[in-house]
Structure 1
Amino acid sequence: MTFEYHVAKNGSDHNEGTKENPFLTINKAATVAVAGDTVIVHGGEYREWVKPKNAGLSEFRRITYQAAENESVVIKGSEQIKDWEQVEGTVWKAVISNEFFGDYNPYTEKIFGDWVVYNPGRHLGDVYLNGKSFYEAETMEELHNPTKKTEVLDHWTKTVVPAHQPEQTQYVWLADVDDKHTTIYANFQDSNPNEELVEINVRKCVFYPEETGINYITVRGFEMAQAATPWTPPTADQPGLIGPHWSKGWIIEDNIIHDSKCSAISIGKEASTGNNFRTKRRDKPGYQYQLESVFLAQKAGWSKEKIGSHIIRNNTIYDCGQNGIVGHLGCVFSEIYNNHIYNIALKREFYGHEIAGIKLHAAIDVQIHDNRIHDCSLGTWLDWQTQGTRVSRNIFYRNNRDLFVEVSSGPYIVDHNILTADYALDNHAQGGAYINNIIRGKMVQRKMLDRSTPYHAPHSTEVTGFAVVYGGDDRFFNNIFVGDEGIENVGTAHFNGYTTSLEEYINTVHREDGDHEQFNNVEQPVYINNNAYFHGAESFERENDRLVAETFNPEIEISEDGNEVYLSITLPDGFENMVGEVHSTDTLERVRIVDADFENPDGSAVIVDTDLLGNVREDKSVLGPLVGLKAGKNRIKVWG
């Protein structure tokens, strides 16, 4: 027997939870709902950390939490603060008892953990004026006299980028905490905080179980915001504003999620498999602790039977300090699609090497498709064990970087995407297949000979070996590469000197005696054909069939009209005469290190035949992500 529980702002937790006599809090419903039950939350604002207590039992006997149809339900990790006292000029203060925060005070908790590179003393707290977040000041002088920073240095790319939105920069806060009180100072400029909605971060999470193994939960239709989430590197506990906490089979869909201090949706690891030991112990590199976390996770039940297989779809995610979606190990076998992710890590109050719209480690068989990702410090970052992963039909624009694949041995597929950042692709991996993309912007390809990372039996978490990244073993077919003035390294010319078949590679390796050192000295094979190169993009020297128009400028542009997104691109005469075949398991050479084929997650043959808009390709069709591209001017709606 299944039940339908109701939650409403006029309810009571002493009620039965029926529609006529609803509960007051979602957490009350979470204590009684069991497999097969549904919790319907009615309109209003709920300030609580929802901690599901019971698990669903299967895909067909899950526990569903959903907003009532056509009703707006907002769940916040913040509290409203009303009693502000004017200090001087536009600076006000609120004095709050430390008991108000319980055992977690975000104004004493600093941004902390492995791979944090830059943090000038900033904390997990935040202040919001009518929904807009402030910036944490470093000193009282800055609080009273905030300065506008229009540019900062991106610590990873070493380039100067916009700091944040100038209209927000004068709104700053600073906290002073003693044994009994937390005093929050804030510069509200022309606003009177006692006449406006002012909120502060209080809770670590908004919808996140405290226990692991809370499987088969659906969360649907909510707005969730303003959580004091901690920094989430792959070597630590990874709580997000919402997430399954080392469980299986969650569905997170049709939500609006924003203003998480660090990560919005986490499908990552838990604390027992390592929790910032690099930073706390300082005795070994984070790389070593991350290796150990893989084996600790296996002891903790890291397998397809117990972990992962989540679905994250149709969400809007924005204004988060570190990630839109994050996960190490716990993300395996998941599907992430049709999400709109933007404004991630743009405030730059702190910085580290774990920032992106989507940042996943060990994304085994994860399918990332049909997402719109823009205005992020980095669009998508796949780090370690990118195996069986597919990145398909996504739109990347106005990011500082679009896509980064690091220290992985494949097989993975990147197909039918649009990448338009000046810095479009970081390829520090091997074993990839890049098919039918538009790539406009700089491409950086690097070997990684000082870090061996794990690889796995196909479609499994079972570790079968370790390997460094030799560079190469990549496939580039049917792509359109577009350069631009001042942008170098666009195209495939950085593979010049590489072998072009496994047979050639093996023969070259064995011309001289030796063992592992010979494999370091010979460039792995690359498989490159049927690509187009425009406006300064350069081709691989041994590519047989290619379209090169070095001086032709396609004038590529991504534009927005409300929620609709359009691609504009001009293509040269004769473009349609250059066609490429549909690639599949049969045409894509196996990856060398893992000795595995390109396949679907269920082990069936993969066929890369569906374009950005869902159109199925013929045996041969035009290059790029859209079958409708033609010579001359093209303007095509690609989202909305």
Structure 2
Amino acid sequence: MEYHVAKNGSDQSQGNEQAPFLTINKAAAIAAAGDTVIIHEGVYREWVKPKYKGLSNKRRITYEAAEGENAVIKGSEHIKDWTQVQGNVWKATLPNALFGDYNPYALEVSGDWLVTVEETKHLGDVYLNGMSFYEVSCFEQLLHPEVKTEILDHWTRQIVPVHNQEQTKYVWFAEVNTDTTSIYANFQGADPNRELVEINVRKSCFYPQETGIDYITVRGLEMAQAATPWAPPTANQPGLLGVNWSKGWIIENNIIHDAKCSAISIGKEATTGNNYSTVRKDKPGYQYQLEAVFSAERNGWCKEKIGSHIIRNNTIYDCGQNGIVGHMGGVFSEIHHNHIYNIALKREFYGHEIAGIKLHAAIDVQIYHNRIHDCSLGLWSDWQTQGTRISKNIFYRNNRDLFVEVSHGPYIVDNNILASEYALDNVSQGGAYINNLICGKMIHRKELNRSTQYHLPHSTKIAGFAIVYGGDDRFYNNIFIGADSLEGVGTSHYKNYTTSLEEYIENVHQKPGDVETFNLVEQPVYINHNAYFAGAEPFEKEKDMLSAKSFQPNFSLIEKGENVYLSCELPDNFDGFPGEVHSTATLARVRIVDAEFENPDGSEVILDTDLLDRQRAEKSPVGPVRELKKGKNYIKIW
């Protein structure tokens, strides 16, 4: 069955092409397995709540924009009745009935792992011709808004420039009473009754209210301006668009922007815990997160019921917390060919769950061919990064590119470009870093105070717990480019680590004991055949490397329209330093998890294609692009 929705339709009509429905929700209330809902040109101000699920990959329910038409779903309302109060400040008074039981101007950004900055913020927002405003805490601040030029990045502790300085003088403030909500805003000379002024009023744009709404396809739509709440891994994680603890969604070819917190959610639901650390205050969030994993497993968290989503070819930008977020609900998924940028750059609030992509328990998740830039953090894979492959992505101009935290592997990071000044936080073990180009600061750190779960291979079944001893990592065929202003570029931070499992075991058992003896010996690392330039430092025991500390590759990424080019110079001896193709057979198994590096189906993984999916020869240049050569290089990479 094919249903049509159009702005000239009626929900009392038949819903066909000649007599379309007016609202998408009318179609969503009746569309069943195998049906398609075609959405025609126009702006639909509603929260679409699919009622029925598809039954398999072949019997999906598909929601898609009509071919060649711009269909937009907004979580906002157009507000036209503004009264000038003083100078550039205007006021709109709205009935609370407009918001129902979810008033974003009364609800605070709150939850586990949120670190408030300056004053409390709310889930509401104001938009002038699509531009998001900043919230202030009192009316007086509306009259003379401060233009911010730089701000402290609370994670890196560095002063960074404000993304859009002009935007910071557009500010709003709200007063919520029993029956009404008054919104005040400084429009900087614009007349809000003549311009397009919108306020977000709904939690989501497309998100089922019930869990288990499987096999849905969402294609070709634009979605924007939802009052999504803070989404930590210990809470319900609704997004502007999301799957709500289900299986088999395809989210493709969409434009998604201006979520107050998270854009696309493939995350946790509330029954396994909902901000208990913040609400109850009796245990740390860490403890509740441990409990959430066990609770989910008892409630049927498994490959047969949850995950296996595909998120591809989307453009995601201007969101306050995440482009894509999820804890446990995204297992066995693929995230590829997405363009994600301008995430968490407003910095109205700060917490430990912010990134272009922020996933917990990314078991067997394949993240590849994404372009992630101008984000507070590019990709953060946290807890249970196992079977995860981060491949052929381009990271640049992020405050940090990649963070892998308290995980035990096996996970693979291959053929990526990490081009920001802060490239990598490695607070994990059991990783394989192959054929990457890394141009920024690297941090390697143990975590001896938090044990986290690991699983049976390719399964959600919990196999055990471990702390992060550091090490058990593999670095082959990477190019490291340093700079005078950067620290830790290269692999020298593994100084004094053992280089084989046999050496490690021998050292551990030189003294009698159990747990305490394992804490005293550095885990083995497998590091060979990397190239180090411009001050990057190699591991002291690396046997076969190309090191030219004084050579300056003059590396840069150049944007030309929608294209991105890699520009760099390489020394004359670069061509004589080819690397071998790595695979399951060449990568030592992970110690703690006792598992191999494999594909999600358990087959051998072979890293024989480059960033551009071109086949590598048995011996090909190190780094992510097979055509890198001595001298000048200028290569289109996106």
TM band (smaller chain): over 0.9
User: Paired residues, what number?
Assistant: 637
Aligned to 1:623: 622
State how far apart, in whole Å, the 2-side matches of 1:443 and 1:397 are.
15
State how far apart, in whole Å, the 2-side matches of 1:142 and 1:558 are.
40
Aligned to 1:155: 154
Percent of aligned pairs sharing the same letter: 71
Which TM-score applies when normalising by structure 1? 0.99
Deviations 1:282-337 (A, max 9, x none): 10000000000001111221100000000000000000000000000001000000
Aligned to 1:56: 54
Deviations 1:243-287 (A, max 9, x none): 110000000000000000000000000000100000001100000
| 1:418–1:437 Cα contact (<8 Å) kept | yes
| 1:552–1:572 Cα contact (<8 Å) kept | yes
* Amino acid of the structure 2 residue aligned with 1:136: E
* Amino acid of the structure 2 residue aligned with 1:435: I
Deviations 1:215-234 (A, max 9, x none): 00000000000000000000
Equivalent runs, 1:331-346 vs 2, <5 Å: 331-346=330-345
Match among 91, 94, 97 for residue 92 of structure 2: 94
State how far apart, in whole Å, the 2-side matches of 1:323 and 1:146 are.
27
Deviation at 1:163, TM superposition (A): 2.4
Aligned to 2:636: 637
State how far apart, in whole Å, the 2-side matches of 1:401 and 1:294 are.
28
Equivalent runs, 1:19-58 vs 2, <5 Å: 19-58=17-56
State how far apart, in whole Å, the 2-side matches of 1:563 and 1:300 are.
44
Deviation at 1:559, TM superposition (A): 1.1
Aligned to 2:323: 324
Equivalent runs, 1:543-622 vs 2, <5 Å: 543-622=542-621
Given the alignment of the two structures, is residue 138 of structure 1 paired with residue 142 of structure 2, yes or no?
Answer: no
Equivalent runs, 1:173-184 vs 2, <5 Å: 173-184=172-183
Aligned to 2:5: 7
State the superposition RMSD in angstroms. 0.6
* Amino acid of the structure 2 residue aligned with 1:611: D
Secondary structure class of the residue paired with 1:391: strand
Given the alignment of the two structures, is residue 16 of structure 1 paired with residue 9 of structure 2, yes or no?
Answer: no
Aligned to 1:262: 261
| 1:107–1:175 Cα contact (<8 Å) kept | yes
Equivalent runs, 1:103-122 vs 2, <5 Å: 103-119=101-117, 120-122=119-121
Secondary structure class of the residue paired with 2:510: coil
Secondary structure class of the residue paired with 1:325: strand
Deviations 1:90-112 (A, max 9, x none): 00000001111111000001000
| 1:255–1:314 Cα contact (<8 Å) kept | yes
Structure 1 window deviating more from structure 2 (72-81 vs 294-303): it is 294-303
State how far apart, in whole Å, the 1-side matches of 2:77 and 2:197 are.
8
Which TM-score applies when normalising by structure 2? 0.99
Secondary structure class of the residue paired with 1:182: strand
Deviations 1:450-505 (A, max 9, x none): 00000000000000000000000000000000001211110000001000000100
Q: Mind listing any 5+ residue stretches in structure 2 that lack a counterpart?
A: none
Structure 1 window deviating more from structure 2 (131-140 vs 41-50): it is 131-140
State how far apart, in whole Å, the 2-side matches of 1:567 and 1:185 are.
46
Deviation at 1:440, TM superposition (A): 0.4
Secondary structure class of the residue paired with 1:574: helix
Deviation at 1:405, TM superposition (A): 0.1
* Amino acid of the structure 2 residue aligned with 1:37: D
Secondary structure class of the residue paired with 1:32: coil
Secondary structure class of the residue paired with 2:193: helix
Aligned to 2:512: 513
* Amino acid of the structure 1 residue aligned with 2:62: T
Secondary structure class of the residue paired with 2:286: helix
Deviations 1:68-104 (A, max 9, x none): 0000000000000000000000000000011111110
Secondary structure class of the residue paired with 2:572: coil
Given the alignment of the two structures, is residue 472 of structure 1 paired with residue 478 of structure 2, yes or no?
Answer: no
Aligned to 1:482: 481
* Amino acid of the structure 2 residue aligned with 1:170: K
Aligned to 2:67: 69
| 1:164–1:348 Cα contact (<8 Å) kept | no
Deviation at 1:148, TM superposition (A): 1.0
State how far apart, in whole Å, the 2-side matches of 1:638 and 1:20 are.
45
Deviation at 1:164, TM superposition (A): 2.8
State how far apart, in whole Å, the 2-side matches of 1:440 and 1:140 are.
46
Q: Mind listing any 5+ residue stretches in structure 1 that lack a counterpart?
A: none
Given the alignment of the two structures, is residue 414 of structure 1 paired with residue 413 of structure 2, yes or no?
Answer: yes
Given the alignment of the two structures, is residue 375 of structure 1 paired with residue 371 of structure 2, yes or no?
Answer: no
